[in-house]
């Protein structure tokens, strides 16, 4: 047996997305995002988010995040994020590269979540003395978080309010945005622009697509030109962008994105419930979406590996493991995982 709970970015492409790719693969199409799929993105996302939205399709979340932050921060600007944020821990300095040396300021917070007070304090501590210091420039919030938790709309609003009071731009890293929306059963606008988020890295690759992300600008269309320049200059303007855009259109059509996310969340939920009943293992965080973090003995976790369960240990810890559930995770696989804990 071998079942893979390492990451949702290891799942295959969903059938509906695949068929959309096939449909896009007919004849020629103009290159460099001048195709008829790419040209529909602004409208489609504006409808989805119920506000004027400009869309920059790209192939990875890292470039979406990096362009977003570099669009709003000068090289001498600071970007505040949670200490566990992907932009801080896992992008090898891409934001710093695109932002020509901007600085990320990690802020601690339980359950992978920023707290308004801690954010306020971090910003104040970063306000310096004129040209000698970096200038607070932006906030980046991850939804769902790197701990598998989710922010409520109210929590996001509170963070964005702190940012707005200090004239910081606001960005959301939504690599798993779909899972958060599905979990909270709310409107995507409520978690973003209505709560004060100005830019969203709207992830799709982890939830059924092949390589498709969208950087969304809510009502800040003046940033788009710079963002397009950065996309090109960083080698991210795919000539055959139609395939990225076709994925994105199919993804948000008829609620597919939320159905897939809800499925993944449900699997995670089943597993989490089993863990709550487990005699030894326990949940490290309250799971809010499609990731479940479990504390168990090193021996117990190692035993799972022996049984063919693939997953990641938390860096530097042999008794803390992450299990990620995807659109393609079957109920049988989830049950097999639960069984592996018990047997």
107 to 126, contacts with a second copy by CB under 8 A?
124-125
- Nearest of 35, 14, 74, 45 to residue 202 by alpha carbon: 45
Site string for a second copy, 281-320 (x = CB under 8 A): ----------------------------------xx----
Sketch the per residue contact string, 7 through 46, with a second copy: x for CB under 8 A, - otherwise: x-xxxxx----x---x--xxxxxxxx--------------
- Of 37, 45, 49, 134, the one binding a second copy (CB under 8 A) is 134
Residue 153 as a binder of a second copy (CB under 8 A): the answer is no
Q: Would you say 25 or 297 has its CB closer to a second copy?
A: 25
- Decide whether 151 or 329 has the Cβ nearer to a second copy: 329
Q: What is the DSSP string of 283-329?
A: ESS---SSEEEEE--HHHHHHHHHTTEE-EEPTT-SSEEEEE--TT-
To a second copy, the closest distance from the beta carbon of 239 in angstroms equals 4
Of 108, 120, 110, the closest CA to residue 159 belongs to 120
Asked if the peptide bond before residue 142 counts as cis, ω within 30 degrees of 0, the response is: no
Q: Which residues contact 136 (CB under 8 A, 6 or more apart)?
A: 77, 78, 80, 123, 126, 127, 166, 167, 168
Q: Do the bridges between strand 53-58 and strand 213-218 make them parallel or antiparallel, or are there none, so unpaired?
A: antiparallel
Q: Which is nearer to a second copy, 123 or 195 (CB)?
A: 123
How many residues line the site for a second copy (CB under 8 A)? 73
The binder of a second copy chosen from 233, 277, 305, 317 (CB under 8 A): 233
Angle subtended at Cα 126 by Cα 123 and Cα 131, rounded to the nearest 5 degrees: 130
Give whole-number Cα distances, 115 to 16, 84, 109, 157, in Å. Answer: 38, 14, 6, 11
According to CB under 8 A, which residues from 187 to 216 bind a second copy? 205-206, 210-211
3-state secondary structure 175-191: CCHHHHHHHHCCCCCCC
Stretch that binds a second copy, among 159-167, 227-235, 274-282, 292-300 (CB under 8 A): 227-235
Q: Among 39, 47, 50, 74, indicate the residue that binds a second copy (CB under 8 A).
A: 74
Q: Which is nearer to a second copy, 39 or 342 (CB)?
A: 39
Please state the closest distance from residue 260 (CB atom) to a second copy, in A: 15
Give the separation between CA 95 and CA 343, rounded to whole angstroms: 44
Residue showing tokens 């965080």? 285
- Least gap, CB of 247 to a second copy (angstroms): 11
Task: Yes or no: say if 230 and 67 are a contact pair by the CB < 8 Å rule.
Answer: yes
Give yes or no for residue 151 binding a second copy (CB under 8 A): no
Q: Which of 42, 52, 89, 336 binds a second copy (CB under 8 A)?
A: 89
Cα angle vertex 79, ends 233, 124, to 5°? 155
> In whole angstroms, how close is the CB of 189 to a second copy at the nearest point?
27
Q: How far is the CB of 275 from a second copy (least distance, A)?
A: 22
Measured from the CB atom, the residue of 124 and 277 that comes closer to a second copy is 124
* Token pair belonging to 302: 């190692």
Binding of residue 147 to a second copy (CB under 8 A): no
Q: Least separation, in Å, of the C-beta of 337 and a second copy?
A: 13
Among 36, 229, 305, 317, binds a second copy (CB under 8 A): 229
* Order of strands across the sheet that contains 199-203: 53-58, 213-218, 199-203, 169-174, 135-142, 77-82, 103-107
Residue 135 CB, nearest approach to a second copy (Å):
8
Tokens of 40: 């529909």
Cβ 192 to a second copy, closest distance in Å?
22
């Amino acid at each position: 047996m071998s079942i893979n709970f390492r990451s949702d970015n290891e799942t295959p492409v969903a059938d509906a997305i695949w068929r959309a790719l096939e449909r896009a693969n007919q004849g020629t199409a103009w290159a460099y995002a001048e195709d008829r799929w790419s040209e529909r993105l602004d409208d489609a996302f504006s409808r989805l988010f119920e506000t004027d939205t400009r869309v920059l399709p790209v192939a990875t979340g890292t470039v979406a995040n990096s362009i977003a932050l570099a669009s709003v921060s000068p090289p001498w600007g600071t970007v505040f994020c949670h200490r566990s944020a992907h932009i801080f821990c896992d992008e090898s300095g891409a934001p710093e590269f695109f932002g020509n040396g901007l600085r990320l300021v990690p802020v601690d917070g339980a359950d992978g979540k920023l707290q308004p007070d801690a954010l306020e304090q971090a910003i104040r501590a970063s306000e310096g003395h004129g040209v000698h210091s970096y200038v607070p420039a932006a906030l980046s919030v991850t939804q769902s978080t790197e701990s598998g938790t989710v922010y409520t709309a109210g929590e996001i609003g509170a963070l964005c309010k702190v940012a707005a009071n200090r004239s910081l731009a606001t960005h959301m890293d939504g690599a798993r945005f779909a899972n958060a929306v599905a979990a909270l059963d709310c409107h995507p606008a409520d978690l973003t622009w209505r709560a004060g988020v100005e830019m969203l890295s709207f992830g799709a690759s982890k939830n059924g697509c092949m390589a498709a992300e969208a950087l969304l600008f809510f009502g800040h269309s003046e940033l788009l030109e710079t963002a397009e320049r950065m996309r090109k200059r960083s080698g991210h303007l795919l000539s055959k962008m139609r395939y990225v855009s076709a994925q994105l259109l199919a993804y948000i059509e008829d609620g597919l994105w939320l159905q897939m996310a809800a499925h993944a969340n449900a699997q995670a939920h089943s597993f989490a419930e089993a863990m709550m009943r487990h005699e030894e293992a326990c949940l490290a965080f309250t799971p809010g979406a499609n990731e479940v973090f479990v504390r168990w003995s090193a021996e117990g976790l190692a035993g799972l590996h022996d049984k063919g369960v693939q997953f990641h240990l938390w860096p530097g810890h042999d008794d803390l493991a992450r299990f990620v559930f995807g659109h393609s995770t079957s109920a049988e696989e989830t049950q097999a995982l639960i069984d592996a804990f018990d047997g």
